[in-house]
Amino acid sequence: MKRIFIGIKVEPEETLLRMISSLQAVLASEKIKWVDPANIHITLAFLGDTEEERIKAASIVLSKICSDYNRFSFHISGTGLFKSYHNPRVIWAGIDNAEELSGINEQIARGLRDTGFNLEERPFSPHITLGRIKYVKDKSLLRETLERYSDTDFQDVDVKEVILFESILRPEGPIYKKTGIFRLS
């Protein structure tokens, strides 16, 4: 069994990296587990613990969908959080021009469900996770800091491939190992 997810790798550029560094500096006294910039991605589907045979089935689905799907791009813009400022859980950067991203997500989810995978039913909300919040003392500082970047444009991302990742959990942070690369046409 391997812990598997399907995603799009994002190579952070200078503007995004500066913002992340700024967030980390301003919120340094808070209990936030920051995502390593080398691990930044958009999750299209989380499969969880998956047997080798099922990984092969997912690979067949991805191969078919991606070979028929054209390359596209989207824009990373703004910051926010999941849950609320009273109970913050995840700090994220947002995605603009997400129509193609939502389209490929929908096709992949349909293909996986047709093959017997059980996926989360919640609506796709494209974002890049920047940090997972354990505890925040100064919630007004958190709000002020995120609002500073809420309308900031960070970078464009050209999508040429979808990746099947294995997530190897470690105390110092996860390692994401590429187990399959599926190029778009």
In the chain, the amino acid numbered 9 is K
CB atoms within 10 A of CB 76: 27
Q: Length of the chain, please?
A: 185
CB 95 within 8 A of CB 126: yes
SS3 state of residue 109: helix
Q: 156 is written with which tokens?
A: 């464009």
CB 182 within 8 A of CB 164: yes
Is residue 75 part of the annotated active site? The answer reads no
- Given 2, 9, 54, 127, which residue is catalytic? 127
* Contact partners, residue 49, CB within 8 Å, separation at least 6: 1, 2, 3, 4
If 0-12 CB within 10 Å is exposed, 13-18 middle and 19+ buried, where does residue 168 land? exposed
- Given 26, 37, 41, 184, which residue is catalytic? 41
- The catalytic residues are 41, 127
